[in-house]
Structure 1
Amino acid sequence: MQLTFDEDVERFRAEFIAFLDEYLPPEATAVERPRSSSHVPQWAREWQSVQFDHGWLVPGYPPEFGGRNATVLQQYVHREELGRRRIYESCNPQGQGIIAASLITFGTPEQQKKWAVPILRGEMPAALGMSEPGAGSDLAGLRTRAVRDGGHFVVTGQKVWTSGAHDSDVVLTFVRTDPAAPKHRGISVLLIPTGTPGVRRRPFASACAADDLDFNEVFFEEARVPAENLVGELNKGWTVANGSLGHERTLLWMSFAQRLRMLVKDFTPHTELDTDRFATTVMDLQALELLGSAALAREQRGETDVAALSVLKLLGSEAVQQGLEAALDAAGTDGLTHPSVTSRHNLLNLEDHAPSWFERYLRSFSGTIAGGTSEIQRNIIAQRVLGLPRSSV
């Protein structure tokens, strides 16, 4: 077992560190906070564009998409160095990590040029339209309809929990194009510009704060969308959906590991108040990193293990939530009103605005929902890892 990286990976790391030292915006520049997961302030747009131009935005992509064809292990140390400085590369994570990734995998060259590249450069914020009032984790139950009418699709229906839609230029939207087909079939995917007549966005507050407007309801009232905005094949949207969620989950465990590392550091002053739960959080972080490293090694060898991603997603999201609950308990009443951080953070850190342990704990519930709920992950693990039969209930 090799627990260190080869020289080529460390050279890659050193080159990225040099880039950050030279180009990372100063804190005085990054004073404007993003107001949602699709709001990209001017400084953030410039920062994302610089990363794109130098091949550091998504290193695993080819240069035309802001990368440098990096290996899996090189991508890992890229994420690791971002985590060390507590920064993120984009203020529109779903645009970069899901929508653009889906277009690179399933889109036409014209769609990639028109949509993917501007999204990756931070010039075109994007949102993901999957969940509906009656179809959350059960995406196949969606009811938003798209009917072909000449050179357009006419879209009618509603999405919900659409993060950042009110600040987005386009929504990657999953629609039903064949209502007579079985529910996992007959789904298609459309790129719908938010300025399209008949598209209405309504942001609403979350439990974290009354002024935290990120979630949206999005209504489509006979919105006419050009047929050229169809992503992938007609009625084959389930394939795109699996690819989109795959893009979200592949490196998601690294995000949870990053949050756990920050949590361990911020929890340290309260360690003497709850040693056992602090130790559990540290062990969860070590377990996540070891299991994740094994998954990376398999991927580096070209082996795909989708079920392993479910294990990592479940472990990471619940470890973060349980660790934050322990920290909140240890902080006592101070955790309700006082800043949770114990050191000065870089203003590029998108989570740094959380004012208390309490808010950080509330936000942790999104991790056990987004990208497939913990219940769904347990079903996948039961069936595909443990070999248990499907429930007959």
Structure 2
Amino acid sequence: MQLTFDPDVESFRDEFVAFLDKHVPAAAAEAIERPKSVSHMPQWARRWQRLLFDNGWLLPTQPPEFGGRNASVLQQYVYLEELCKRRIYHSFNPQGVNIIAASLISFGSDEQKKRWAVPILRAEITASLGMSEPSAGSDLASLRTKAVLDGDHFVVNGQKVWTSGAHDADVLLTFVRTDPDAPKHKGISALVIPTNTPGVTRRPFPDICGQDNLDFNEVFFEDVKVPAENLVGPLNQGWGVANGSLGHERTMMWLGFADRLDNVISDFEPKDDLERDHYATAIMDRQALRLLGSVALARAARGEEDVPALSVLKLLGSEAERQACENALSAAGSDGLLHPVLTGPYEPMNLDHYFGSWFERYARSFSGTIAGGTSEIQRNIIAQRVLGLPAR
């Protein structure tokens, strides 16, 4: 077993570290606009993302025309590892870059890549993902938003919810039902819908942490006319596009959980035997996640696809983070309601500004058990595809 990287991977890491040392934005003498949410893109953040794109450091595994340098899976891993170490973002439109642009590159036409993928990657426009609905959250195939083909355009009616960043987005990659008579996993299509299209209404709403960080949205479509050329992939084959989109989201999601567990461990202050036991549990969970993740990473580097392993990692990482935050909040007591981070000077690339109090970190930790497939869905996948149990 080799637990180190080959020289070419470490050389790749060194090159990226040198780039970060030289270019990461720092607090300027004049005030820098604080992003209103993780999806909001002030001008300095657009310049940062464009700099990454122009130097091949935005999506390293993509070719240069899409902001990359044809990096290997292992090189992509050390790239993400260095971002995590510094607790910085490569984009304040992560869904647009990591999911939507990547999906357009995989499934879109050359014109769609030029029209939408590249501008998203260059931070000229932002994008949001329209998947979940009031009656179709974990069970995406139950979506009801309908698109009827009428000549050279679709007419879209329906609603999406939990649509992160939609109020800031220029376009939505929206999953719609185009064949109501087909089985529920069939008859789904993917459309790119500009948010300024008549009939599109976006309503941001706060999460449990309040109004300061609006990110979620309800999105309503009322007789929205979308050109047929905005169809991504074949008609009625959107389920494949959806799985590809979620695949882009899940591939190395476990690394983010491991990083956030590191952050909890570094900030946790146990005071008695029970709290020390909780502290040790968080350390063991972090170590297990990294070791299992390394196995999955090695398989990916060999070109092997292991979707059940990603479900195990996603379930373990999200639940471990939630439990660690709950234990840390309990240990902090009433002090856990205080927000110690924002009292210092604002540094634009420091993720500490988004972590907040232990209560906020605990409340936000639940999102990890939902986004990218809920813990319940992951348990079903593991039961059926790892343990071989029958579907109910």
TM-score norm. by structure 2 comes to 0.96
Structure 2: how far apart are the matches of 1:304 and 1:211? 40
Paired residue secondary structure (2:355) = coil
Structure 1 moving runs of 4+ over 6 Å: 340-345
TM-score norm. by structure 1 comes to 0.96
Preserved contact between residue 201 and residue 219 of structure 1 (Cα < 8 Å):
yes
Counterpart position of 1:15? 15
Preserved contact between residue 85 and residue 346 of structure 1 (Cα < 8 Å):
no
Structure 1: how far apart are the matches of 2:125 and 2:17? 27
Preserved contact between residue 27 and residue 346 of structure 2 (Cα < 8 Å):
no
Preserved contact between residue 97 and residue 121 of structure 2 (Cα < 8 Å):
yes
Preserved contact between residue 315 and residue 378 of structure 2 (Cα < 8 Å):
yes
Paired residue secondary structure (1:302) = coil
Paired residue secondary structure (1:387) = coil
Structure 2: how far apart are the matches of 1:30 and 1:340? 18
Preserved contact between residue 30 and residue 348 of structure 1 (Cα < 8 Å):
no
Structure 2: how far apart are the matches of 1:344 and 1:83? 21
Structure 2: how far apart are the matches of 1:193 and 1:129? 12
Counterpart position of 1:387? 388
- Cα deviation, 1:14-40, whole Å, max 9, x if unaligned, reads 100100011111123783222133310
Mark the CA change 1:158 to 1:202 in structure 2 (over 3 Å): closer, same or farther. same
Counterpart AA for 1:332: G
Preserved contact between residue 308 and residue 385 of structure 2 (Cα < 8 Å):
yes
**Paired residues for 1:228-307 under 5 Å:** 228-267=229-268, 269-270=269-270, 274-307=275-308
Mark the CA change 1:291 to 1:225 in structure 2 (over 3 Å): closer, same or farther. same
Counterpart position of 2:167? 166
Structure 1: how far apart are the matches of 2:325 and 2:247? 26
Structure 1, 378-387 or 19-28: larger mean CA deviation: 19-28
Counterpart position of 1:126? 127
Counterpart AA for 1:299: A
Mark the CA change 1:91 to 1:350 in structure 2 (over 3 Å): closer, same or farther. farther
Mark the CA change 1:112 to 1:65 in structure 2 (over 3 Å): closer, same or farther. same
Q: Which runs of 5+ in 1 are unaligned?
A: none
Preserved contact between residue 266 and residue 340 of structure 1 (Cα < 8 Å):
no
Preserved contact between residue 124 and residue 169 of structure 1 (Cα < 8 Å):
yes
How many residue pairs get aligned? The number is 390
**Paired residues for 1:48-67 under 5 Å:** 48-67=49-68
Deviation at 1:344, TM superposition (A): 8.7
Over the residues paired in the alignment, what is the CA RMSD in angstroms?
A: 1.7
Preserved contact between residue 208 and residue 363 of structure 2 (Cα < 8 Å):
yes
Paired residue secondary structure (2:62) = coil
Work out the percentage of aligned pairs sharing the same amino acid.
70
Deviation at 1:122, TM superposition (A): 1.5
Deviation at 1:63, TM superposition (A): 0.7
Deviation at 1:342, TM superposition (A): 12
Deviation at 1:121, TM superposition (A): 1.4
**Paired residues for 1:122-201 under 5 Å:** 122-201=123-202
Structure 1: how far apart are the matches of 2:165 and 2:207? 12
Structure 2: how far apart are the matches of 1:362 and 1:258? 17
Paired residue secondary structure (2:193) = strand
Mark the CA change 1:246 to 1:240 in structure 2 (over 3 Å): closer, same or farther. same
Paired residue secondary structure (1:297) = helix
